[in-house]
């Protein structure tokens, strides 16, 4: 797959896709603007045209992961669900022909986000 940004969420504490987690993707220049918003699908991925590169430009971007709300909806105890809230991740698109896959792995107490393949 060439170009675009794909977002994938996985609850590694339970070993399940983050189906239903709300995410937002923003371009940050020349001003902050929303490119995509939605809930992750049953496979834990955001199904949006930005995956194929629509609206993606070179420059800084940000993804917001609404982890706290998802943890509460997934049945975690309030004590576990209140540590993380909205987790931001900023990255830079430098090559419009390169697909950027962002696997977001999390537990109620921590996250890992990296450039995947």
Mean pLDDT score across all residues of the chain: 96
Q: Which positions ≥6 away from 13 have C-beta within 8 Å?
A: 106, 107, 108
pLDDT digits (tens, 9 = 90+) for 53-96: 999 999 999 999 999 999 999 999 999 999 999 999 999 999 99
Q: How confident is the model at residue 117 (pLDDT cuts 50, 70, 90)?
A: confident
Domains observed in the chain: 5-110 (2.60.40.180)
CB-based burial, 23-39: b 16+ in 10 Å, e otherwise: bbbbbeeeeeeebbeee
């Amino acid at each position: 797959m060439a170009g675009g940004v794909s977002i994938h969420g996985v609850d590694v504490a339970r070993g399940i896709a983050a189906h239903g987690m709300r995410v937002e993707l923003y371009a940050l220049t020349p001003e902050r603007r929303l490119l995509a918003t939605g809930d992750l699908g049953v496979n834990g991925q955001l199904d949006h045209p930005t995956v194929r590169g629509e609206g993606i430009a070179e420059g800084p971007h940000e993804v917001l992961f609404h982890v706290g709300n998802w943890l509460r909806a997934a049945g975690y105890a309030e004590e576990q669900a209140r540590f993380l809230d909205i987790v931001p991740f900023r990255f830079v698109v430098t090559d419009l022909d390169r697909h950027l896959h962002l696997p977001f792995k999390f537990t109620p107490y921590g996250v890992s986000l990296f450039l995947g393949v």
